[in-house]
């Protein structure tokens, strides 16, 4: 176990490095707004733009206190000199506020207002609220600038879109301006995402870059997924996982709601944008649940059903807890909280089994493991940036992680298929070697001294007893023909065919040894299959090494029968016997016995057991499962 843990230190280091990078990015995101005055300048619903040069392209994050007006559209209804109902933090849900002792409902409309002071002259800027799941309009000094969706006092008729339907330059022509955002919501109440003040040309360049790069990343992921799906369809038995394909598709759906493709999709979809966000978030959670359940163990050992159920319950529990915390504490970045709660589940689900697994790790697991860490890091950082937790662009983090995961999966599948092909080549080579070994075995059975002795015995019989000589020639030809035919045979044959060769061999040996060799054949089952030249070599061993070495000779018995779901073949002799440990020696014939055992196991899942005692004899038993022996009725025409 110590060596195994040492071998798997790279998994722990990779996980630690991933979480260290995430922690560093989060720390920088918290530290930078506190030390960079050009990022966050909103205090007491006032933004001081003194010394700001918008030509540098740096955005002004309008995160902080805004004046809040409930159930009022300040500009649309021409409401002047209105006192705010409260000062609220943006981003936030207005459900955290109370009116007459009751929390404000999800559905409704309101206005948010701040003041811009010390504005640079003739600056052309934009106010953007990326991916806000509410309808809104933006006004500068009472003039409409941009908006998205349809802001109405009746929430049921409110239409929400993910992108702008209009966008005009915001001219800062006075040193002090009033910025108002009117919002109408029915699912995500209020300014739950952070508005940004940015130079128009910078935003347009960034938007164009985002479209190109986002489309490129999504295109790469889609191509990988399509090729994976095609491989799964065309090669269903090659080990391509349906669950992994489903995980990649779900992660792809999750990545859509951040890019321009999702905006186009929502434009044509009959389902409102704010309602569509739920299934996309759910797709991400489902992907993590399936990923952790389908995640292969380092050694390739299957997961237990109990563990799969526990993992799914933990993932669903994390999602429920995140939603509950978001509702209870009005947290606008509850979807990022899901990722944070998934971190220990991911760590325990992927790292802990590596330390506890008693089997050797698969060499293909580490790239897959890195891909999962990349997609998690991209998911967490992207969701936190989308929630306004730190001022970094979230357009590509998750998509880059998704591409890393798809590349890792494709790499692992390529290596795995390459290993399968190499294994197939080894199997083919082994089959060729087995065929050659079988040929050598068959030729080896026809010993030169046996041929000489048999021919001399036949010669003698030709003079003394021509009728016996004729029968001996027939048995000898049968024996030779059977052995020659077995050389070319690779599939199991009828036991009756093997038995015919055995009878021919025993007849020849009885002709040579006369009364020294007695044969007993007790064939109670013959309607089954055996590999060629498996029983005959055992009978020959019983005669050659058992009976022939005994001066007074002995008896060889061959018995076959069915019992307890097996076909049994027993070869017994009362010869000189031997020490079974000698079977390990090639000079004693151990190689031949090893080959017989291999062929029986490979072709019929059968076993060969040999018991022997010096001076008492030998017992050789073949045990073949009935389903592998291919039993048939005696009356069948074969």
Strands (E), 30-151: 42-43, 46-48, 60-61, 64-70, 86-90, 98-99, 102-103, 108-117, 123-128, 135-140, 143-148
pLDDT band at 4 (very low <50, low <70, confident <90, very high): very low
Q: How many CB atoms lie within 10 A of CB 627?
A: 10
Task: Give the dihedral sign, CA 332/336/338/341.
Answer: negative
Domain ranges of the chain: 2-33+208-422, 40-194, 446-629
Residue with tokens 């045979």: 489
More confident residue, 276 or 86: 86
Please state whether beta strands 517-523 and 554-563 pair in parallel, antiparallel, or not at all (unpaired).
parallel
Q: If you average pLDDT over each of 309-318, 390-399, 479-488, which comes out highest?
A: 309-318
Contact 254, 342 (CB under 8 A): no
Residue with tokens 């007790």: 522
Read off the pLDDT of residues 608-627 as tens digits, 9 standing for 90 and up. Answer: 999 998 888 999 999 999 88
Pairwise CA distance, residues 167 & 146, whole Å: 5
Contact 198, 125 (CB under 8 A): yes
Judging by beta carbons within 10 Å of its beta carbon (0-12, 13-18, 19+), is residue 142 exposed, middle or buried? exposed
Q: What is the DSSP string of 257-302?
A: TTSHHHHHHHHH-SS-HHHHHHHHHHHHHHHHHHHHHHPPPTT-PP
CA distances from 177 to 42, 47, 59, 222 (A): 14, 10, 18, 46
More confident residue, 464 or 626: 626
105 strand-pairing partners: none
Residue with tokens 């061993």: 541
Contact 573, 618 (CB under 8 A): yes
Angle among Cα 480, 609, 436 to the nearest 5 degrees reads: 40
pLDDT of residue 623: 93
Mean pLDDT of 470-477: 83
Pairwise CA distance, residues 299 & 311, whole Å: 19
Contact 117, 139 (CB under 8 A): no
CATH class for domain 446-629?
A: alpha beta
Task: Give the dihedral sign, CA 550/555/558/564.
Answer: negative
Q: How many CB atoms lie within 10 A of CB 114?
A: 24
CATH architecture entry for 40-194: Sandwich (2.60)
Is the pLDDT assigned to residue 541 strictly greater than 60? Answer: yes
Pairwise CA distance, residues 530 & 526, whole Å: 10
Alpha helix stretches (DSSP H) within 526-589: 535-541
- Give the range among 231-240, 478-487, 500-509, 629-638 with minimum mean pLDDT: 629-638
Q: What is the DSSP string of 236-265?
A: TTS---HHHHHHHHHHHHHHHTTSHHHHHH
Rg (CA), the chain: 41
Pull the structure tokens for residue 436.
């050659």
Pull the structure tokens for residue 523.
């064939």
Percent of the chain with pLDDT over 90: 12
Collapsing DSSP to helix, strand or coil, 69 comes out as strand
Read off the pLDDT of residues 314-333 as tens digits, 9 standing for 90 and up. Answer: 888 888 888 888 777 777 77
Collapsing DSSP to helix, strand or coil, 465 comes out as coil
pLDDT of residue 596: 82
Q: How many CB atoms lie within 10 A of CB 374?
A: 21
Is the pLDDT assigned to residue 24 strictly greater than 80? Answer: no
Is the pLDDT assigned to residue 3 strictly greater than 50? Answer: no
Pairwise CA distance, residues 21 & 13, whole Å: 12
Collapsing DSSP to helix, strand or coil, 441 comes out as helix
Order across the sheet with 123-128: list the strands.
Answer: 60-61, 196-199, 123-128, 170-172
Percent of the chain with pLDDT over 70: 76
Nearest partner of 120 among 76, 56, 181, judged by Cα: 56
Read off the pLDDT of residues 226-254 as tens digits, 9 standing for 90 and up. Answer: 888 888 788 777 666 777 788 888 888 77
Q: What is the 3-state secondary structure (H, E, C) of 476-542?
A: HHHHHHHHHHHHHCCCCEEHHHHHHHHHHHHHHHHHHHHHHEEEEEEECCCCCEECCCCHHHHHHHH
Enumerate residues 6+ apart whose C-beta is below 8 A from 596. 534, 537, 538, 608
């Amino acid at each position: 176990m110590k060596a195994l843990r040492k071998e798997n230190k790279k998994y722990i280091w990779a996980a630690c490095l991933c979480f260290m990078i995430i922690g560093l990015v989060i720390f920088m995101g918290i530290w930078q707004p506190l030390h960079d005055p050009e990022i966050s300048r909103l205090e007491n619903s006032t933004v001081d733009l003194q010394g700001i040069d918008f030509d540098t392209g740096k955005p002004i994050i309008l995160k902080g206190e805004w004046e809040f007006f409930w159930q009022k559209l300040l500009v649309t209804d021409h409401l002047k000199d209105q006192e705010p109902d409260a000062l609220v933090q943006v981003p936030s849900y207005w459900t955290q506020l109370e009116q007459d002792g009751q929390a404000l409902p999800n559905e409704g409309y309101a206005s948010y207002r701040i003041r811009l002071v010390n504005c640079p002259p003739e600056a052309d800027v934009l106010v953007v609220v990326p991916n806000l799941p509410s309808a809104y309009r933006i006004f500068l000094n009472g003039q409409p600038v941009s908006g998205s969706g349809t802001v109405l006092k009746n929430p049921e008729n409110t239409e929400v879109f993910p992108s702008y339907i209009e966008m005009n330059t915001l001219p800062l022509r006075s040193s002090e301006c009033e910025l108002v955002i009117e919002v109408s919501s029915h699912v995500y109440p209020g300014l739950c995402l952070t508005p940004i003040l940015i130079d128009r040309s910078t935003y347009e360049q960034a938007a164009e870059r985002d479209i190109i790069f986002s489309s490129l990343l999504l295109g790469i992921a889609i191509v990988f997924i399509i090729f994976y799906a095609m491989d799964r369809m065309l090669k269903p038995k090659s080990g391509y996982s349906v669950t992994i394909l489903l995980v990649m598709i779900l992660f792809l759906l999750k990545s859509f709601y951040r890019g321009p493709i999702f905006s186009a999709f929502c434009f044509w979809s009959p389902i409102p944008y704010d309602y569509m966000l739920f299934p996309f978030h759910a797709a991400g959670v489902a992907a993590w649940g399936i990923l952790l359940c389908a995640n292969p163990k380092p050694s390739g050992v299957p997961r237990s059903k109990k563990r799969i159920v526990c993992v799914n319950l933990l993932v669903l529990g994390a999602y429920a807890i995140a939603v509950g915390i978001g509702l209870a504490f009005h947290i606008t970045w509850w979807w990022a909280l899901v990722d944070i709660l998934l971190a220990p589940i991911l760590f325990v689900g992927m790292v802990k089994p590596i330390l506890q697994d008693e089997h050797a790790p698969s060499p293909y697991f580490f790239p897959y493991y890195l891909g999962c860490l990349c997609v998690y890091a991209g998911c967490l950082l992207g969701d936190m940036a989308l929630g306004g937790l730190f001022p970094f662009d979230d357009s590509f983090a998750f998509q880059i992680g998704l591409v890393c995961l798809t590349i890792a999966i494709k790499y692992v599948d390529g290596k795995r298929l390459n290993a399968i092909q190499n294994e197939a080549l080894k199997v083919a080579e082994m089959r060729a070697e087995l065929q050659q070994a079988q040929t050598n075995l068959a030729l080896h059975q026809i010993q030169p001294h046996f041929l000489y002795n048999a021919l001399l015995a036949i010669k003698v019989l030709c003079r003394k007893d021509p009728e016996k000589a004729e029968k001996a020639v027939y048995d000898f030809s049968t024996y030779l023909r059977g052995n020659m035919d077995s050389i070319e045979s690779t599939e199991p044959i009828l036991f009756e065919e093997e038995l015919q060769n055995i009878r021919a061999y025993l007849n020849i040996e009885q002709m040579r040894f006369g009364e020294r060799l007695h044969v007993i054949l007790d064939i109670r089952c013959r309607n089954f299959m055996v590999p060629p030249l498996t029983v005959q070599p055992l009978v020959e061993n019983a005669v050659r090494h058992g009976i022939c070495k005994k001066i007074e000779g002995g008896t060889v018995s061959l018995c076959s029968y069915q019992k307890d779901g097996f076909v049994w073949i027993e070869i017994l002799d009362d010869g000189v016997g031997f020490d079974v440990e000698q079977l390990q020696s090639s000079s004693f014939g151990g190689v031949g016995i090893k080959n017989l055992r291999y062929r029986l196991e490979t072709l019929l899942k059968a076993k060969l057991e040999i018991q022997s005692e010096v001076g008492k004899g030998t017992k050789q038993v073949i045990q073949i499962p009935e389903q592998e022996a291919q039993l048939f009725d005696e009356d069948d025409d074969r």
